[in-house]
């Protein structure tokens, strides 16, 4: 018997998955949460075999939840449900030690397969996910590194996207406007975008916000 806990901010998705999985004898859903905080609280008492996790959630997203659990010394077999197939994201998931990742547009067969696989201590990544990861890795490491922003750079990207000017950012971070300027310049170069608009666009496409 595999005991599952679902975290997804959409009740329909929770109900739907519950419904799909209720057809499977070996799987039982022991609980669910509509957001990261609720999940954290409930998981203090519940102990599922597999955590089924939506990655796109408001407030506390999936990756943050995994990190929070890790900090608490709580390691669970985790299977991530994701909407979009973003290699950058996949890499983060693997880095965080998440065992599996299934696209939401996968079928129920894949879902059930992934759950049993993850429960057995294995890992499962949808073919589409690994494909796009491979493709991404096929590009020279150099090219990938180019798109890797540093912590500070990510911080600045966010502040820019939130309508702060260079001077405002400088004040908020207690650094010189010149420095912010340099960061912005480096970011634009790294991303290969043309201007601030492209930078903001990037912030949204990689859902940094």
Partner DNA sequence: AATAAAATACCGAGAATTAGGTATTTTCAT
Partner DNA sequence: ATGAAAATACCTAATTCTCGGTATTTTATT
Residues contributing to the site for a copy of itself (CB under 8 A)? 9-13, 15-17, 19-20, 22-23, 34, 81, 83, 102, 104-108, 111, 160-165, 193-198, 200-201, 204-205, 209
Q: Is the dihedral of CA 195, 197, 203, 209 positive or negative?
A: positive
- Please state, in angstroms and rounded to a whole number, the distance separating the CA atoms of residues 86 and 62: 14
The smaller minimum CB distance to a copy of itself, of residues 178 and 204, is found at 204
The smaller minimum CB distance to DNA, of residues 81 and 183, is found at 183
CB of 155 vs DNA, minimal distance in Å: 8
The smaller minimum CB distance to a copy of itself, of residues 16 and 122, is found at 16
CB of 86 vs DNA, minimal distance in Å: 20
In sequence order, which residues have a C-beta less than 8 Å from that of residue 35 and are 6 or more positions away?
7, 9, 57, 58, 59, 60
Binding site for DNA (CB under 7 A): 148, 150-153, 160, 165-167, 173, 175-176, 178-179, 181-185, 188, 194-197, 199
Tell me how far apart the 2 most distant CA atoms of the chain are, in Å: 62
Phi, psi of 98, deg, nearest 5: -75, 135
* Nearest alpha-carbon partner for 63 in 93, 86, 83: 93
CB of 165 vs DNA, minimal distance in Å: 4
């Amino acid at each position: 018997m595999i005991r599952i806990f679902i975290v997804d901010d959409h009740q329909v998705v929770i109900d739907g998955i519950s419904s799909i999985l209720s057809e499977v004898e070996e799987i039982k859903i022991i609980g669910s949460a509509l957001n990261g905080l609720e999940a954290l609280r409930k998981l203090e008492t519940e102990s599922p075999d597999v955590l089924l996790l939506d990655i796109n959630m408001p407030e506390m997203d999936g990756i943050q939840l995994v990190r929070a659990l890790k900090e608490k010394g709580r390691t669970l077999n985790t299977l991530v449900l994701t909407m979009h197939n973003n290699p950058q994201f996949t890499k983060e998931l693997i880095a965080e030690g998440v065992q599996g990742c299934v696209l939401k547009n996968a079928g129920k067969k894949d879902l059930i397969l992934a759950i049993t696989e993850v429960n057995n201590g294995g890992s499962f990544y949808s073919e589409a996910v690994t494909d796009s990861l491979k493709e991404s890795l096929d590009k020279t490491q150099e090219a990938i590194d180019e798109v890797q922003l540093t912590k500070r750079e990510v911080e600045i990207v966010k502040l820019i996207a939130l309508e702060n000017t260079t001077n405002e950012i400088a004040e908020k971070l207690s650094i010189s406007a010149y420095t912010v300027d340099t960061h912005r310049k480096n970011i634009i170069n790294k991303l290969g975008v043309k201007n601030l608009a492209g930078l903001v666009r990037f912030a949204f496409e990689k859902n940094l916000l």
